[in-house]
Chain A
Amino acid sequence: MSASGQQKISVPARPGTRPALSLVLPVLVLAAGLGVWELVVQLNAIPPYVLPGPVLVLQTLFSDWDVLSQSLLTTLITTAEGFVAAALGGIALALVFNQSKWLEYALFPYAIVLQVTPVIAIAPLLLIYLPQQTAVVVCAWIVGFFPVLSNTALGLNSVDRNLLGLFQLYRASKLQTLRYLKLPAALPYILGGLRIAGGLSLIGAVVAEIAAGSAGAGSGLAYRIAESGYRLNIPRMFAALLLLSVAGIVIYAVLALFSYLVLRRWHESALGKDT
């Protein structure tokens, strides 16, 4: 996993293409897709326990809102806890690594091990040793934490050498260098890491919930999907899946907006093309 912290927030329309087109086209594709889906279901009279149409999925979303919203809340709380832990842990560990090469050499390989081991394989183990809610949060933390760590580490190491020289010339303390130079310089990288971690925390939470669900406990959205699957309540599966997608999009959008607001005065990624 390379630390690709520099995603564009918004892709500017190419010259000549109207921005409206880039909004209308995906919506048209969505509408067409849903239309065909509904049509196929209606014409072939496919039973809902095999494939529900989009209309039925929407109806289920509203009729089962009490159950689903409760599950959505559970999953979102888990995700948020995992994300905050990943953000704090990743940034803190990167700071520690930046101050001490010894600790970096000693610990960084294990951070990579955590990252490359599929979380779906770790989750069942965690569920054995930890209380269920803790295990789920830990899963969300495991997948979210590495991008924050590696992006922050990259940012802290990407400080302009001349600026470092300047701080050295004026006898800046380690703390001053960190506060006035390294952290601000690393901020775009950290925010990039956080944007990746937001989506990953949701994935981690879902994976852990699925694992917990197969053990017969849980209440999150992923658990709802697994449970509905056992009961052949396919419309509810789709409705829960829809909520998960929307949650992921909202998390990403919120973090992207946050990043934009923080960087808009100075960083290239948040500036328009003409500036």
Chain B
Amino acid sequence: MVDSVFSDLPSAAPDAAVTLDGVTKIYDSGVMAVGPLDLDVARGEFISLLGPSGCGKSTVLRLIAGLAAPTSGSIAVAQSAGVSRPDHRIGFVFQEPTLMPWTSVRENVGLPLKLAHRPAAEAQTKIDAALAQVGLSDFAERFPRELSGGMKMRVSLARALVTSPDILLMDEPFAALDEITRFRLNNDLLELWRSLRMTVIFVTHSVFESVYLSQRVLVMTARPGRLSAEIRVETEEPRGEAFRTSIAYADYCRRVSDALAPAYAGASAL
């Protein structure tokens, strides 16, 4: 059934960063997790995948990252001219910080460079830059257990940024954090996105987070995950706390919630 997985680039817009065409994923157990799914993400775009738990959002990210292969359909990730190593165009932030507890923040952030055999001097510069981007310059020599949940997530983000990826995949990264920390990280993420001009695909089950962060919210159905609605969030940039408390924001949230409701109605477990 695996036909044309890594075939020629589908006829998408030339500035597409990620293109999914008729992608399905069926697990060995026979469970159909995703699909069929079509998705186009433009270069520099910030999109959110929103859906109920277990709808295959995370699976979509894993498919894009190449951590799993689709059962059918094709996935194209655009080559970036500026990046010499093709495998470094993607950064991934997991649901948990996923840090190595036995070593320092510096070593954790530098891991992708170490695995790519980058020279130590160059690595140190990049690690320092990545730590500065997430505001953790003073914590380079700490161990993960000495940090708070929010700081651990920042380390995880710095590790994803250290290779200067042009696509950042984030899998419910802030779900376990308290609301204040989450708001701050949302703002910092938006700022990083603006300054680094990355493509961000952000998976979440929070309506409010998806509307606040993204230019496009893609609502997914219950398993098997398919796209059921697409809501474009158009507002003044850069966004900030003013947007979070605006009427327009509340309005978008209501529209997204309404679009999400059928997915939950369809989920038999609830």
Contacts and interface: CB of A to CB of B under 8 A. Distances in A.
A187 B102 contact: yes
Contact of B101 (A167, A170, A180, A267): A267
Interface stretch (A126-134, A157-165, A217-225, A243-251): A157-165
B103 interface: yes
A275 B145 contact: yes
Nearest to A181: B100
A172 to B, nearest CB: 5
Contact of A169 (B67, B101, B102, B143): B67
Contacts of B115: 167, 170-172, 176, 180
Given A169-B66, A169-B67, A170-B87, A180 B96 contact: no
Contacts, number: 58
A130 to B, nearest CB: 40
Contact of A162 (B96, B114, B163): B96
B87 A266 contact: no
Given A170-B111, A266-B143, A165 B94 contact: yes
Contacts of A187: 102
A166 interface: yes
B100 A169 contact: no
A42 interface: no
A256 B88 CA distance: 42
Contacts of A185: 100, 102
A18 interface: no
A170 B67 contact: no
B103 A184 contact: yes
Contacts of B100: 163, 180-181, 184-185
Given A184-B103, A265-B143, A170 B112 contact: yes
Given A180-B115, A266-B143, A275-B145, A168 B67 contact: yes
A112 to B, nearest CB: 29
Interface in B107-157: 111-112, 114-116, 143-145
Contacts of B94: 162, 165-166
B228 interface: no
B92 interface: yes
B69 interface: no
Contacts of A181: 100
Interface in A29-70: none
B149 to A, nearest CB: 15
A266 B102 contact: yes
Contact of A163 (B62, B66, B98): B98
Interface string B66-92: 110000000000000000000110101
Nearest to A166: B98
Contacts of A160: 98
A169 B145 contact: no
30 contacts: A162-B94, A162-B96, A165-B92, A166-B92, A166-B94, A166-B111, A167-B115, A168-B67, A169-B65, A169-B66, A169-B67, A169-B90, A169-B92, A170-B88, A170-B115, A170-B163, A171-B116, A172-B115, A180-B100, A180-B111, A180-B114, A180-B115, A184-B100, A184-B102, A185-B100, A185-B102, A187-B102, A266-B102, A266-B103, A267-B102
Interface of A: 160, 162-163, 165-172, 176, 180-181, 184-185, 187, 265-267, 271, 275
Given A165-B67, A170-B112, A267-B102, 10 more contacts: A162-B95, A162-B98, A163-B98, A163-B100, A170-B87, A170-B115, A171-B115, A184-B103, A271-B145, A275-B145
